[in-house]
Chain A
């Protein structure tokens, strides 16, 4: 049984936690843009926290249900309508055959995750269901596509109505301050540029996608050019190419890069960046120690998991 795509959003794909083990061959890891919303969606329907969800971004989408299922939609920038009736995000709910889910685009965010109990049963490539169209691993979902679901998607209907409390949601906003762990190449940037980096409010460029988020603001000057011998890159790493405008690596980022980098956005704050609106979202940075970033990350994972504790044993028993 499936979920039928009646209308696809501009960026609509299946994403699990990512494809690991092949980055040495140049294969990007992929995975969700907003890991916090992704994890919560899975937990709300009793899935493994890394299970595959439908990720939708940039514009509205509509799906019709062909099977009794437990679902949850999390994220920001969308209103969820079931048969025309509005339902909160960050809550599990059940649907029946014939129901229509509409994800209406609003302001204040850019990505939502639809989790279905029992996980989306789409194609697995190299150990992951994450789509990566650039390399022929699936393509963007489009109208008429059928997303295969587990036969047991309706069995956990009793868990409908679980909700992440409002005070435990990410602080999504149009203007965000992201914690950054500094990198080892500080001497590659002029001292005044580093000061400027911490003081500038950048605007998220419209040339931003699942590979990278480009920022526009006062340029960062290099002491000795922007190039370095190509090296591996990570999610959230802030590259500074020759024009001095930072680019933050997002899940489909190339595995290696040859530009200097100034630091890495803390995992805990990446969802705030991901949800900014290209063209208008504002970003500034604040320095953060590695240990502090690690603790904050662990804390949020615990918080998500405890907010959805009712389902904890479910995925362990799958």
Chain B
């Protein structure tokens, strides 16, 4: 278990009603782990006047109502929640398995990703399904998980020209990240497969299948390229 780096957390007001808490400057599993621990403590110890907060890779953005609580009180609350997190017992994260059809029309960039790394398509699928991923943060679209834990041998840059339409359920790679598009949208990630697993439902609870900190595994569907 690691401690928060020296000089962190850093507290910076963002406009009149938000506080940015920076836990670290790089995208690392250790820093992200600290974010999750502080997030959990914040949930356990409520503070009046807090509207909501957004845990990201290496920071937490706290939105507060300045007519109910002042910035110093918000800062103190987060400071208290950041102290001693290294000794907190972390509950086992939720494990979510996502069935993916790799390649073909469902994963139009699988062949390019394979060629980029000098691998066969089956080897890319094998490396992708062997991984155990953690939801490092959510954003971009409702329910979009940024997953940490990609095999460095699959790290592939984004497309030079983003697609105007990426179908819902598309599984993609961008640099050292992998993720799933919950909705149809424009996007520049390399698409290697597609799932029918719903990540977002505005009509039914729970509205989101995944939460920051959850663990995800991808399982190859019979219809696609096999590992």
Contact = CB atoms under 8 A, between A and B. Distances in A.
Interface of A: 20-28, 125-126, 134-137, 181, 183-184, 229-237, 254-257, 264-267, 290, 293-294, 297-298
A270 B26 CA distance: 32
A254 B139 contact: yes
A268 B60 CA distance: 25
B102 interface: no
A27 B15 contact: no
Given A184-B12, A237-B15, A255-B139, A25 B56 contact: no
A267 B54 CA distance: 20
B53 A24 contact: yes
Contact of A135 (B59, B139, B202): B202
6 contacts: A25-B138, A28-B142, A230-B57, A234-B18, A254-B139, A293-B15
**Which of A231, A236, A264 counts the most chain B CB atoms within 10 A?**
A231
A22 B25 contact: no
Contacts of B17: 234, 267
Nearest to A263: B15
Contacts of A27: 142-143, 207
Interface in B1-32: 10, 12-18, 20, 22, 25-27
Contacts of B208: 22, 25
Contacts of B55: 24
Given A229-B56, A229-B58, A256-B140, A134 B185 contact: yes
A231 B59 contact: yes
A256 B14 contact: no
B85 to A, nearest CB: 18
Contacts of A294: 16, 66
A257 B16 CA distance: 19
B135 to A, nearest CB: 10
A125 B202 contact: yes
A231 B24 CA distance: 11
Contact of A26 (B57, B60, B142): B142
B62 to A, nearest CB: 9
Given A24-B54, A135-B200, A135-B202, A256 B15 contact: no
A49 B216 CA distance: 42
B115 to A, nearest CB: 26
B39 to A, nearest CB: 8
